[in-house]
């Protein structure tokens, strides 16, 4: 049986299927032949479909929450924390900012709904909190 003209995708798919079948163990082949197993099509991760009409998203830069939390904790003033958050605005989406806020600990609230609100909460709960605490303990308590 020959493939119809213009069947390059079919030929390529059959070659892929043959490669998958050759990689199976004898037990897997027996299970497949007996109906105890099945081959399943699954799109490859991050594979672009030629039929997709959805806009493609540009890949986001990886975010290391632990490293960012350590850097925020190292910064001494609320202005430095605010500058740091603005410098990395493209990487820090709302979900990422929420993760950072949770990782920073109980002094940082995570109730903000927008980037600006979450950034404000992070600034207030880190260097802002330390600055206020130092001002209060350095006053009448000395």
Whether the pLDDT of residue 137 is over 80: the answer is no
CA-based nearest residue to 82, from 31, 122, 39, 30: 122
Average pLDDT over residues 110-118: 90
- 82 to each of 27, 57, 107, 129, how far by Cα in Å? 60, 27, 16, 13
Helices (runs of H) and strands (runs of E) counted in the chain: 7, 0
Range with the poorest average pLDDT among 11-15, 77-81, 103-107, 113-117 = 11-15
Handedness of CA 34, 12, 52, 91 (dihedral sign): positive
Whether the pLDDT of residue 33 is over 60: the answer is yes
- Reported as a pLDDT band with limits 50, 70 and 90, residue 97 is very high
Block residue for tokens 């798919």: 13
- pTM value > 0.75: no
Average pLDDT over residues 23-28: 80
The CB-based long-range contact list for 48-52 (8 Å cut-off, 24+ gap) reads none
Q: What is the domain partition of the chain in residue ranges?
A: 65-137
């Amino acid at each position: 049986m020959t493939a119809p003209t213009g069947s390059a995708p079919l030929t390529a798919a059959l070659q892929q299927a043959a490669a998958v079948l050759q990689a199976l163990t004898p037990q897997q082949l027996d299970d497949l032949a007996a109906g105890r197993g099945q081959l399943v099509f699954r799109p490859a991760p991050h594979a672009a479909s030629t039929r997709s009409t959805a806009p493609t998203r540009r890949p986001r830069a990886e975010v290391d929450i632990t490293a960012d939390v350590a850097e925020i904790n190292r910064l001494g003033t609320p202005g430095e924390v605010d500058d740091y958050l603005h410098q990395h605005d493209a990487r820090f989406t709302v979900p990422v900012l929420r993760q950072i806020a949770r990782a920073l600990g109980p002094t940082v609230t995570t109730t903000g709904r927008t980037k600006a609100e979450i950034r404000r909460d992070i600034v207030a709960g880190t260097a802002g909190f330390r600055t206020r605490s130092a001002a209060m303990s350095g006053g009448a308590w000395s």
